[in-house]
Each structure stands twice: as C-alpha cells, then as structure tokens.
C-alpha cells in the first residue's frame, strides 16, 4: 500500500478519534465546544473546574445574603436595600446562572423567579408610566439616592439592561416567557425611544420629568441591542457619532458629542463591550454586518489597549465603574474620558486618580472572552478578592494594592455571568427574538389588546406590507 494512502488513513483515524473524544468529553462538553466554534475563538469555553465552581459559589452567596424575602429583589450593595432597574436585570441573569451552574435546584429557582416576577409586574411607575431609577428593595417604593421616597427620573440604559435580562431568562427557561413579557407591556415607551431609535432618559427638573437624549458610544449600542430584542427601532442608537483617540499607538473609537451639551462624559470602559460579547457575541439585533464587524473591532481594541499597558508598563489594568464605601461612593474608572487616557472620575466630574483600580467585574469579563497570558495574570491577582461568606470585592486599588472591600450586586452578577458564558460554550442569546406565537407578539397583533404606548409596529401589519 502506498505510503501516501497509509498517511491519509492514519490522519482519518486520528480525526475520527479526536471527534469521538470530543463527543464523549465531559458529558457532551466537547460536542458543544465543537459546534459552538470553540476551535476558533479566543474565549474560555468548557465545563467549570473545581476552582471556578468555588468562585461561582462565592458570588451566589451575595444573592443569598441580600435577597429580600418580601419582594425577591436583591440589595444593590451589601446590606443596603436600594436597587436600580439595571441591578434588577443583573439579578435575573445571576439567578439564571445559579440554576444553570447547579448552585440551586429547579424548586429554588422557581420560588425565587416567581417572587421577582410578581414584583416586576407590580412595580410602581412614574407619571410617565416608566420605571423610576431606584427602588426600595424591601417595599418596592420609588426612592432617591438617600433611600427616601422620591421620583428621580428614568434611564433607557437601565431599562435596556432589564429588557436584555428578560430575554436571557426566557432563552434558558421558555416556560416563564408569558410572565417575563408582561413586565414591559406595562411600560410606556413614547418618551423613551423615537421612531429612529434614539433613546431618552428622564430627569426631574422643576418638578417635571424632562426627557433628554441618552447613550454614549459603547453604552448606546448595548442599549440599542436591548431594545432591538423586542422589535423597537434602534438604528440611531446603533450608530452614535464617533471619532478616534490614540492611546499608546492604538486607535480607539469614542463618542464625538460634546459632554458639555450631553451632560455625560465621553468615556471608554470595559463593561458594555464584555457584556455585548458574553450575551450576544457582538451580533447586535437589527444591525447590519458592518455594524457587527465594527462592534467586534471596538471590543477587541478595548481589550488590546489594556493588555498593551500591562505589556509595556507592567500595570495590571481592567477598567470599569465601581463603588467605594466612602465619598464619592461611585467612580467612573475609564480607559479614556474627557480628553485623557486612563482617566478616573467621580460622578461630579472631579479627577480622582488615586482611586483607580483593577475592577473585579472587568477582570471576569475579559477573562471569559480572551484566554491569554494577560487575562491569566489579571485572574491570578483577582481570584482572592472576595469574602467567601459575603461575595466578591469591587477590586484592587491600582496605586496601593489595597482591596476595595465594597461588595455590590453588579460585580457578583458579572462573576456569575462570566462563568455561565464559559459553561454555556459561548453567548447566552442565540435565538433572541420573541417567537411568532409569543404572548408579546400576540398582544401587539391584537387590535383590541395592543397597548397604546408606542410599542413596536404591529407585527401583522408589518408582514402585510411586506407581502
């Protein structure tokens, strides 16, 4: 037999053995790895090892400690019963992760989800029929930052986070879809999104809720994805004006609008890009291929510039917003903001460089999406930033190496989401839009039940016009 034939047969046998090994590897993990493209991605995909399961257990401990038995809501920070709509979305994703990672069983999942759904479907709304920025986790009353009764406005960005989370829960547990979809059918979107897809926040001024455009580059596309999942127009939010900034020779995109007129710093942070990667692989709902390609490139550059800072200056870097346990309480730690690289700002715009830190939530997002020596180094320094009985700390201070021992819902949710992404073999949303027979679509199709609150165009009419 010719040597060439023998070599081909050996190669074929090796390939068969490899595929067989993959199919039987860890109860189907190998098959999922093969099917979901694990062979060509930089992401960490596969079943959790013992250490990673311990990380998940520590993160879930936060939710066990801070869940309110009357409402199912979870404190936004440890022992402080105030929660935002964004954090309600975090809670739903964390709960989904806890079930998929077998931290809780079906009975516990159903009990917790049922309580949260009941709360979300009775959530008090502002005079604009949209959720308030903040709520009491114990009473569900609308509150201000001091946890006193107050209407302070709404955020389309926070609404988008919850809308995204509702779709993620439905993707893993479709039996709850009707009740998940009922949540947003109560809301009025007339002042939140226009027919071009521009998103608006509302702020209390002179005792009136006044809308203003919301969404900067990064956050804007993530919010657009959340609205696009439900059929809303999102083109304008998918394409915010941008310009280039150069950091260490690398060109990064940043919002081109003047922060003096938008009231929002033009900033680059890690969070929206890693959430986009883990949740829908940067394939934005409603986006053209060029937008998807651009979003992936932007995410890659956000990763690369932080890696380069470590390679060139030996400074471990993972930038995100975070909380601290003293004034200014909340810090925007950025890759770029307001004209400067590696800028660290309080919410009032004050420069606070000594507060810069390696963010735990940013580390887990980067670690999940890029398996490299850089993310290995980040995790080696981060893996002990926790209290096993309380959850993960916000981060490690860059200037001193001290822990930032504040513990928040969002960081612990990010840990669980990153580990779920790994165990799920990729993006959490693959079939993301409500089905033709969904409760949501049926409500919009029925002229007698469709809420007159600027929901997406009637689906039946859409199909009729198309045909």
The pair phi, psi for residue 263, each rounded to 5°, is 65, 10
pLDDT of residue 56: 98
Give a yes or no: residue 310 inside a domain.
yes
Domain residue limits at 281: 49-423
Give a yes or no: residue 38 inside a domain.
no
pTM: 0.90
Give a yes or no: residue 18 inside a domain.
no
pLDDT of residue 215: 87
pLDDT of residue 42: 87
Residues 257 and 198: their CA atoms lie apart, in Å, by: 14
Contact of 404 with 397, CB cutoff 8 Å: yes
Q: State the helix-helix crossing angle for 50-66 and 409-423, rounded to 10 degrees.
A: 140
Give a yes or no: residue 443 inside a domain.
no
Give a yes or no: residue 2 inside a domain.
no
Instruction: State how many domains the chain has.
Output: 1
Give a yes or no: residue 428 inside a domain.
no
pLDDT of residue 449: 67
What string of H, E and C letters represents the secondary structure of the chain? CCHHHHHHHHHHHHHHHHHHHHHHCCCCHHHHHHHCCHHHCCCCCCCCCHHHHHHHHHHHHHHHHHECCCCCCECCECCECEEEHHHHHHHHHHHHHHHHCCCCCHHHHHHHHHHHHHHHCCCCECCCCCECCEEECCCCCEECCCCCECCCEECHHHHHHHHHHHHHHHHHCHHHHHHHHHHHHCCCCCCCECCCCCEEEEEEECCEEEEEECCCCCHHHHHHHHHHCCCCCCHHHHCCCEEEEEECCEEEEEECCCHHHHCCCCEECCHHHHHHHHHHCCCCCCCCHHHHHHHHHHHHHHHHHHHHHHHHHCCCCCCCEEECCCCCCEEEECCEECCEECCEEECCCCECHHHCEEEHHHHHHHHHHCCCHHHHHHHHHHCCCEECCCEEEEEEECCCCCEEEEEEHHHHHHHHHHHHHHHCCCCCCCCCCCCCCCHHHHHHHCCCCCCCCCCCCCHHHHHHHHC
Please state whether the peptide bond connecting residue 466 to the residue before it is cis, i.e. omega within 30 degrees of 0. Answer: no
pLDDT of residue 18: 62
pLDDT of residue 32: 46
Ranges of the chain whose pLDDT falls below 50: 27-40, 459-467
Contact of 317 with 306, CB cutoff 8 Å: yes
Q: Tens of pLDDT along 76-90?
A: 999 999 999 999 999
C-alpha closest to that of 314 among 306, 324, 322, 325: 306
Give a yes or no: residue 371 inside a domain.
yes
Specify the residue for token string 């931290």.
103
Residues 308 and 296: their CA atoms lie apart, in Å, by: 18
Give a yes or no: residue 388 inside a domain.
yes
pLDDT of residue 94: 98
Looking at residue 275, which CATH number applies to its domain?
Answer: 1.50.10.140
Q: Tens of pLDDT along 224-261?
A: 999 999 999 998 999 999 999 999 999 999 999 877 66
């Amino acid at each position: 037999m010719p040597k060439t034939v023998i070599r081909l047969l050996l190669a074929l046998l090796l390939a068969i053995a490899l595929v067989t090994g993959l199919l039987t590897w860890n109860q189907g993990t190998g098959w999922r790895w093969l099917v979901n493209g694990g062979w060509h991605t930089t992401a960490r995909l596969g079943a959790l090892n013992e250490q990673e399961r311990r990380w998940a257990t520590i993160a879930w401990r936060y939710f066990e400690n801070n869940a309110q038995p009357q409402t199912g809501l979870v404190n936004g920070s440890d022992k402080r019963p105030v929660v935002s709509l964004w954090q309600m979305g975090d809670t739903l994703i964390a709960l989904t992760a806890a079930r998929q990672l077998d931290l809780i069983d079906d009975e516990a999942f159903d009990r917790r989800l049922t309580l949260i759904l009941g709360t979300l479907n009775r959530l008090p709304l502002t005079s604009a029929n949209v959720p308030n920025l903040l709520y009491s986790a114990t009473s569900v009353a609308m509150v201000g930052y001091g946890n006193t009764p107050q209407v302070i406005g709404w955020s389309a960005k926070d609404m988008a986070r919850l809308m995204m989370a509702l779709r993620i829960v439905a993707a893993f547990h479709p039996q709850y879809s009707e009740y998940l979809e009922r949540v947003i059918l109560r809301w009025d979107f007339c002042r939140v999104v226009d027919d071009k897809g521009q998103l608006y926040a509302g702020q209390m001024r002179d005792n009136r809720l006044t809308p203003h455009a919301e969404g900067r580059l990064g956050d804007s596309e993530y919010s657009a994805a959340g609205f696009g999942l439900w059929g809303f127009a999102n083109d304008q939010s998918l394409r915010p004006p941008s310009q280039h900034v150069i950091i260490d020779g690398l060109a990064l995109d940043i919002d081109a609008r003047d922060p003096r007129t938008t009231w929002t710093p033009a900033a680059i942070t890690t969070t929206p890009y890693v959430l986009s990667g883990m949740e829908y692989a940067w394939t934005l709902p409603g986006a053209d291929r060029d937008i998807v390609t651009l979003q992936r490139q932007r995410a890659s550059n956000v990763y690369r510039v932080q890696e380069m800072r470590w390679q060139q200056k030996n400074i471990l870097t993972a930038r995100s917003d975070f909380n601290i346990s003293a004034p200014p309480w909340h810090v925007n730690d950025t890759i770029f903001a307001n004209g400067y690289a590696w800028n660290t700002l309080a919410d009032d715009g004050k420069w606070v460089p000594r507060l810069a830190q390696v963010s735990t939530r940013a580390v887990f997002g980067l670690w999940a999406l890029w398996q490299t020596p850089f993310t290995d180094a980040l995790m080696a320094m981060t893996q002990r930033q926790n209290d096993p009985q309380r959850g993960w700390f916000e981060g490690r201070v860059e200037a001193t190496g001290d822990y930032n021992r504040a513990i928040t819902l969002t960081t612990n949710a990010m840990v669980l989401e990153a580990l779920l992404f790994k165990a799920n073999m990729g993006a959490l949303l693959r079939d993301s839009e409500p089905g033709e027979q969904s409760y949501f679509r049926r409500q919009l199709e029925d002229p007698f039940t469709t809420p007159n609150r600027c929901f997406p165009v009637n689906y039946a009419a859409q199909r009729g016009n198309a045909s």
